[in-house]
Amino acid sequence: MVQKISQLNMQVMRRVHFIYWTKRVYHSATLKIFLLGMCTVSTTLYVSLPDVILNMPSLTDAQAFLKFVFSALLNTRSRVQLIAILAISIVLWLCKDIVQNIRENSLIKAKARV
């Protein structure tokens, strides 16, 4: 009898752990960061990042840097342009989620004070 209870307990805990880790993996931020990483890795298949960094102007000169970025994006393969658009979209999507979470947390704290 005791053995059946411990087996049932182990089965339930396996399911609980499975559900917990599934939710963690499929959490929206985790998935977005994974997609952003995949965009970065796939970019390295088409672009030599060390060469880009060597040719890049100083970050302190914003105008030259933006001109370089736009020129690089416009004069590259369509695959790289698509990957860049996807990466920028994911970053903006993450920023939206961060702002939304901050707002929700501040509302919860404000309600708790009342």
Least confident of 7-16, 22-31, 84-93: 22-31
Domain boundaries of the chain, sorted by first residue? 2-113
Burial 1-24 (b: 16+ CB within 10 A, else e): eeeeeeeeeeeeeeeeeeeeeeee
DSSP 56: P
Q: What is the pLDDT of residues 32-41, one digit of tens each?
A: 888 899 999 9
- What pTM did the predictor assign? 0.64
Span 32-69, pLDDT tens digits:
888 899 999 999 899 988 998 999 998 899 999 999 98
pLDDT over 80 at 111, yes or no: no
